[in-house]
Amino acid sequence: MTSDEPWLSGFVELVAGRLRAVAPVARITIGRGDGVKTLATVGRVCERAVECGATRATVLVAIGGGNVGNITGLCAALLFRGIRLIQVPTTLLAMSDVVLSLKQGVNITGVRNGLGTYYAPELIWADPRTLETLPAAEIQGGQAEIIKNALILAPGQIPVLLKLFRPGGGYLPGELTAMIDLAISAKSAVLRDDAKERNAALVLEYGHTVGHALEVLAGGTLSHGFGVALGMRVAARVARRLGMLDDAHVDLHDQLLSAAGLPLGLPETLAPRAGELAGQLCRDNKRGYLRLDPSQIPMVLLSAPGVPALTDGIPLTGVDADLVLAEFQAAFSPRGAGARLADAPGAW
């Protein structure tokens, strides 16, 4: 299964040709964008697979970015109550984040990844050469998750990233491979003992509370990586407000994002909807881990790079929604936002 992204066509045909040498192959295309990440798409794909002759011996192969991987993963988990899955990620975000987790899921109204399960692939094959044809924004979206992994799990790699990143992109294959290696080593270390991300691995949700909310409000026009980047800026400022994080480490967040060429301001299309953020935060998928007042939001916060703040032994903190909203406004005011969208046309 793949999407209809134009830069994928040649690689998909290459993989399909290799697979046809050993088994019959049927290609299923799901379209592009966050709007296809739904249960309806899962149903359509499963029905199409059966029409093509799928059996319990069938292998579903996901070729594409994070949405393709998530949708195919959920299809594999559900079809005939579970068939084999192979992930072939073709974006930096998918290689460095999505396929490293067992989480397979789709969105429901107002909730990112509201339906899903945990399901392991038989094989993950990442070929960095597929990254050479990606638009710059696709690379930057992946870099946001790599920055996240360094901040929460591998602070010793931060100087390496600052040296490696270039706002203008244009990375060599070896440089992209180094980024992927960093993400794999950092993320796999915490997932090894918490594969379902319910304890220590909840730290991987850093930046996702506000990030997911903004993605929903944007209606699919804000990529996941860019949402996480904005969410990390807010999380850092919330931690500072609570006396956990100092100014230098808050500035470090912006320094890393700027080094990768990620804009620090809200997209202009999202700014008018900022007032809806509070309602969206109340739907955060981390609710239920802690006993919180209805006015509190569970967030992953840091007291220093690599040191998450803990409550009852898990890396979540209950934060008053009003405080989150105040720091959101501060982060994206003209003074706090740094480069606005107008300074980086097309980056979103």
Q: How far apart are CA 239 and CA 274, in angstroms?
A: 20
Q: How far apart are CA 207 and CA 197, in angstroms?
A: 15
**Confidence at residue 338, expressed as pLDDT on a 0 to 100 scale:** 46
* Closest among 200, 204, 222 to 212, alpha carbons compared: 222
**Confidence at residue 73, expressed as pLDDT on a 0 to 100 scale:** 97
Tokens of 265: 């301001």
Q: How far apart are CA 326 and CA 342, in angstroms?
A: 24
**Confidence at residue 334, expressed as pLDDT on a 0 to 100 scale:** 65
Which domains are assigned to the chain?
Answer: 6-132 (3.40.50.1970), 135-343 (1.20.1090.10)
Per-10-residue mean pLDDT for the chain, 348 residues long? 81 92 94 90 97 97 95 98 97 92 92 94 92 89 96 96 93 92 92 95 97 91 94 98 97 98 90 85 91 94 98 97 95 61 35
**Residues recognised as catalytic:** 103, 205
**Confidence at residue 340, expressed as pLDDT on a 0 to 100 scale:** 35
**Confidence at residue 58, expressed as pLDDT on a 0 to 100 scale:** 97
**Confidence at residue 230, expressed as pLDDT on a 0 to 100 scale:** 97
DSSP 314: B
pTM of the full structure? 0.91
First to last CA, the chain: 26
**Confidence at residue 7, expressed as pLDDT on a 0 to 100 scale:** 75
Q: Helix 136-153 to helix 247-259 angle, to the nearest 10 degrees?
A: 150
